[in-house]
Structure 1
Amino acid sequence: MRIIFKIAKNELRHLFYSPIGWFLALTMLVMTAYFYTNPMLGYAAATEMLERNNPKPLFYNIDESYTKNIYNTLGSGLFFVILKYLYLFVPLLAMSVINKEFNNGTIRLLYSSPVKLRQIVLGKFLGLTVYNFILVAIIGIFIVLGFFDIRSLDLPPLLSGLLGLFLLLSALTAIAVFMSSLTSYQIVSALASFTVLFLLSRIQTLWQEYEFFRDITWFLAISNKITNMLSGLITTSDIIYYLLIICAFIGFTLLRLKHGTESRVWYVRVSRYLSLILICVLTGYVFSRPANNVYFDTTAQQLHSIHPRSQELIRELNEGPLEITLYTNLLDQKANFGLPAARNTYLEKVWWPYQRFKSDIHFKYVYYYGIQKTDSSLFRKYPGKTLQQIAGLKAKMLQVDPALFKPAAEMPNLKELESENLELLMTLEYQGRKTILRTHAPAKPWPRERNINAVLSRLLNKPIPQVYYVSGQLERSIYKRGERELSLHTADKWGLESLINSGFDLDTLNLSTHNIPVNTSLLVLADPRVAYTDTVMGKLTQYLLQGGNMIILGEPGKQQVLNPLLKQTGIQLQDGQLVQLSKHETPEKITGFIDTTAFNLSEERTFRQSKYLWANGIYEDSLFLKIRGATSLSGKGENGFHSTPLVLSAPNKSWLKVGKLIVDSTAPVFDPAAGDQKEVSAPVITKLSRTIGQKEQRIIVTGDADILSNQGIWDGTTPMLYSMYSWTAYNKFPIYTPRPQAKDDWLLVKMKRAYIQKIVFTWILPSLVLITGVIILIRRKRK
């Protein structure tokens, strides 16, 4: 070891007695300073502006992690910006580390000296590794600076990023050392290093369509591994990967130098290289398997791990393997996401976080082609072609083997696929149970954690809320896509947040011909237009009296339909319609503000943020709803019901007009003689609850049905909408996955200091380093 350290010390001294060592260190300093101080200056300006305009600015950056924004954000964080240029450093640094011995004629002395080849190579590599540590330490300067600029800086993911950069630099150094041993020309060595680095950074795109090569090339990709550590996730497979790259190329260098001292036939030399490659690849592949991998999420918010609720669900699947089948239709517009070439991307984006907690997940892939019987668009696009010919053309365009795809008619589960419109989807099977996991719009097709958790709950036979929408009285439909209908948040199979994809079972129910099922979790009356018959009213009243949960959507002019039923609760839809004058909108459109009591309905992100603001005395940031035609609610609750308003009209801005409202003429006038009522703030949505036996009955009544309509979603009612369903389902579904609030959510640095930092670290400090380097080099040259 003493000889290795001496060689390393000599190599390091040589670097700092040459311009290249100082040039690279200076470049790293200037580059890091620029990419740190520039964004920080912008953030500081925004922070100062926020402080000037808000009395309590510290509470406005909820969920904002400045550590992540400045250092760890993929693509724009400091670590990732530096990574783009890091590949240029090492080839310049190590291009002459071995070949200079050939050029100077000292290689023969080394061969004949008592020093062993491995001591020479390891010593030179160690010297370069120490220099790499200095480069990483330069980046570390700006992490130390972050402690003074960011409140409660999240240090662990920054250490993870530094570790990743150091391992990457060391792996690149090992590659460059080997390339230096292959040729006596430094420029050729540098170009060869660039070529190998380019191949390793792009190799994950090669041969992904072939089963044999797919996992090997994906594992060998050097860019895949660094992303995890730079964003704060450390895995044993990534660390082992870099160690294997280092060992492999240091081993190649030793073999190259050893072959210069002995005479061996070519196949013996080749076999040595191949043996080393095979050992490293097999070792890396084994440790890359989920069952053999250990993960450490260093972020304070656990951003790279599934939520504890998700972990609990996946761990409950402990009685056997989980089988997941991906069905890809060649003629579907999302086909490219399910092709063999995209398989590893699919696994990484969707299932890799779950494999950390369940290693026995088995994946299958089924490929077919087909269209719905009523779809003729493809035949119009390809006139005169059969479906098989069209599939062949599509396969050629996507560069896949058409023989991989079989006709949809041959699929044993064709009816199931047709019910899902023959789109890209997954099926999950566990212990004989099977369920469907859908994909979504082509821009972002893969399901979210919330969707996956809903499907896992079904596999575990957990109670699923049964929601019935009463039909038969011209109610709003959960299947139609018109602006007044309810399809977008209910039965839309391809909506990420729709109830059907969030853990609810939905159906319509005509009470004129059917009874209310015993297993009903929630009954929805969506703006009935026709008065209920005695039979239907009797069923609804009995359901309500027995403690059934309900959402009752009223509208102006429909009071006589719903008030007889609501009488049991003590709440009534008032006669007339709320009116609010505005120069921008017609008078039937009013502004409703969400009361703080609504923030406790669910864990919707918007409500969690608002709850935090109100808890810290920030009241001016109330949430508002755009309401399109509503009546107010009266009453305080009877028969044991406790009522709480959730949404109220804006204070002193509206009144209840009892007479006829004309919206396309002159502005309406408040007329007390006609029965108009002035209310300070009228309830528009109210929740009701009471205890019956061991159960809490929950009911929500609205004076506006548009809040749950497709138009309402476009108007931004989503947080309120899903919260109503969550509360009436006892908050079991949707399964929310909120992250802990970021502690590093505020900047301590001001604009003036940020500007001084920019001058000091971008100009003054590099100038001092430059002067120091010049002095040392001049003194060295004189000696």
Structure 2
Amino acid sequence: YQRYPNRTNREIMVEYARSHRLDSNKFLSPSQIREIEDLRPENNRFVRTLVRESGQKSFLRVFEDAQVFPSEAEISASMKKLVMDLPKVGFVTGHGERDCIREGDRDYNKFALEKSFRYSLINQGFDFEQISLDNPVAGEYDILIIADARVAYSQEHLANLEAFVASGGNLLVAGEPGRQDVMNEVVSSLGVRFLPGRVVKPQENFLADFIRAIPTSQGGEMMFGLADMRRQGQVVTMPGLAALDYSGVKDFDVKELFVADTAASAWIEMETENFIDDSVTVDAAMGERMMAGIPAALALERAVEGKEKLQKIVVLGDADCISNGEVSMNRRNVSSANYNLIMSAFYWLSDEEVPIDVRRPSPPDRKVFLGLTGMKVAKWSMVVFLPVAMLLLYLLMWVRRRSR
């Protein structure tokens, strides 16, 4: 518009088409495109549309990453969405929870709704919406997400949440230091507690409350994405972690997915809150002590009467680790894979429906055993004997054809 002031959209298009030697008649106006497909919800980006004979449709998007085009996982999820009901996710609102629509650093738009992000739920086959607990939600949603509630739940809301849990619904709960009182009301029926204070580990270049959560062997056995993280030495970054206690759990089988540290170099800090200007030390008088294996994320599961599959619940001690800012963050010398936690957790919570598992068995002939003598023979065979044999074969065929 600055280059071509006082011109209509079509006049500008004609100028661009002429400069690129294109036929301007091949281009459609926005209103003409909307008659075919309204792309305003897609931010007018390029998409492919999959349409069934019934009119049901699904989008295949391109992404802002090195691969750009949808892979087997995204294509399969889009097609699967056309032929079966995939998990429906409800983001609980009304108590100051993290927002799945807003694009702030602390919100959850990136992994939930961001259409140009390959690993967002919407691109992996999930349907989702923001919900209130004013009405019963049992049976309406497959997975509920409650992240960092700031306002206490009313008795009515707690009753509706507990009814959802009692019915066997799957759940992801993410807490945050400073919100333990509110969040403990949410998870009290599970037997899990967010402990007071916050986990700290003094280190160079980062604040003491910046935690690199390490995937456990139990987590690797439960979720293949965490097993990959363990093999590659990756972590989940948690800038502010409330330790988890599951000693009160009775009805669930509990496994630790991540721990704050495998060595006894971290502790739960009860006093210090300003980690920029103040230093932290262990204060035995406050009950602080160095600990190894402080739980940072838990997985709970149990059988529920009347439900064919196990009920599954994930509890995170930090709500920032799956936020827009943290999923997008790159830190020097920190091999983080927070998106792996998202993909793994929702694959598990969806009973392995989506995201689509596109792994393949390792090929059996991935190793070659060849000695020095064998290497020399192979080299001469490929470099000398095979080319000479091909040349002789060619000459023989040429001579025979000439003789005819």
TM-score by length of 2: 0.84
**Once the two structures are superposed, what CA deviation does each residue of 1:118-154 show, in whole Å capped at 9, x if it has no partner?**
xxxxxxxxxxxxxxxxxxxxxxxxxxxxxxxxxxxxx
Q: Displacement, 1:747?
A: 4.7
Q: Displacement, 1:733?
A: 0.6
CA contact (8 A) 1:555 1:629 kept: yes
**Once the two structures are superposed, what CA deviation does each residue of 1:448-498 show, in whole Å capped at 9, x if it has no partner?**
1111111211221x1211101111222112122333221221101121221
- Residues 206-355 of structure 1: pairs in structure 2 closer than 5 A: none
Distance 1:680 1:439, change over 3 A: closer
Q: Displacement, 1:593?
A: 1.2
Q: 1:286 — aligned with what?
A: none
Separation in 1, partners of 2:374, 2:173: 55
Instruction: Give the gaps of 5 or more residues in structure 2.
Output: 329-335, 393-404
Q: Secondary structure at the match of 2:159?
A: helix
1:420 pairs with 2:54: no
Q: Secondary structure at the match of 1:568?
A: helix
**Once the two structures are superposed, what CA deviation does each residue of 1:641-679 show, in whole Å capped at 9, x if it has no partner?**
121111012121200112233211242010121232432
Give the share of equivalent positions with the same residue, in percent: 24
Q: 2:152 — aligned with what?
A: 531
**Once the two structures are superposed, what CA deviation does each residue of 1:256-302 show, in whole Å capped at 9, x if it has no partner?**
xxxxxxxxxxxxxxxxxxxxxxxxxxxxxxxxxxxxxxxxxxxxxxx
In the comparison of the two structures, how many residue pairs are matched?
A: 377
1:402 pairs with 2:24: yes
1:435 pairs with 2:55: no
* Structure with greater Cα Rg: 1
- Residues 36-75 of structure 1: pairs in structure 2 closer than 5 A: none
Q: 2:227 — aligned with what?
A: 607
Separation in 2, partners of 1:739, 1:381: 52
**Once the two structures are superposed, what CA deviation does each residue of 1:418-476 show, in whole Å capped at 9, x if it has no partner?**
1111111122222212222222238644221111111211221x121110111122211
Q: 2:254 — aligned with what?
A: 643
Separation in 2, partners of 1:407, 1:391: 9
Separation in 2, partners of 1:685, 1:448: 30
Partner of residue 128 from structure 2, selected from 497, 500, 506? 506
Separation in 1, partners of 2:327, 2:215: 16
1:660 pairs with 2:272: yes
Separation in 2, partners of 1:562, 1:569: 12
Distance 1:531 1:677, change over 3 A: farther
CA contact (8 A) 1:523 1:549 kept: yes
Q: Secondary structure at the match of 2:320?
A: helix
Partner of residue 320 from structure 2, selected from 706, 710, 715? 706
Partner of residue 544 from structure 1, selected from 165, 169, 172? 165
Q: Aligned AA for 2:103?
A: R
Q: Secondary structure at the match of 1:416?
A: coil
Q: Displacement, 1:756?
A: 6.1
Q: 2:76 — aligned with what?
A: 453
Q: 1:676 — aligned with what?
A: 288
Q: 2:400 — aligned with what?
A: none
Q: 1:627 — aligned with what?
A: 238
Separation in 2, partners of 1:754, 1:630: 57
Separation in 1, partners of 2:283, 2:214: 25
Distance 1:759 1:600, change over 3 A: closer
Q: Aligned AA for 2:290?
A: K
Q: CA RMSD in A?
A: 2.8
Separation in 2, partners of 1:478, 1:754: 60
Q: 2:6 — aligned with what?
A: 384
Q: Aligned AA for 1:451?
A: E
CA contact (8 A) 2:97 2:148 kept: yes
CA contact (8 A) 2:63 2:118 kept: yes
CA contact (8 A) 1:637 1:688 kept: no
Partner of residue 571 from structure 1, selected from 186, 192, 196? 192
Q: Aligned AA for 1:642?
A: D
**Once the two structures are superposed, what CA deviation does each residue of 1:500-534 show, in whole Å capped at 9, x if it has no partner?**
0111001111334x542632000000111222222
Q: Displacement, 1:760?
A: 5.9
Distance 1:400 1:601, change over 3 A: farther
CA contact (8 A) 1:602 1:731 kept: no
Q: 1:477 — aligned with what?
A: 99
Q: Aligned AA for 2:96?
A: L
Instruction: Give the gaps of 5 or more residues in structure 1.
Output: 1-378, 614-620, 774-783
CA contact (8 A) 2:264 2:291 kept: yes
**Once the two structures are superposed, what CA deviation does each residue of 1:327-368 show, in whole Å capped at 9, x if it has no partner?**
xxxxxxxxxxxxxxxxxxxxxxxxxxxxxxxxxxxxxxxxxx
Separation in 2, partners of 1:759, 1:415: 59
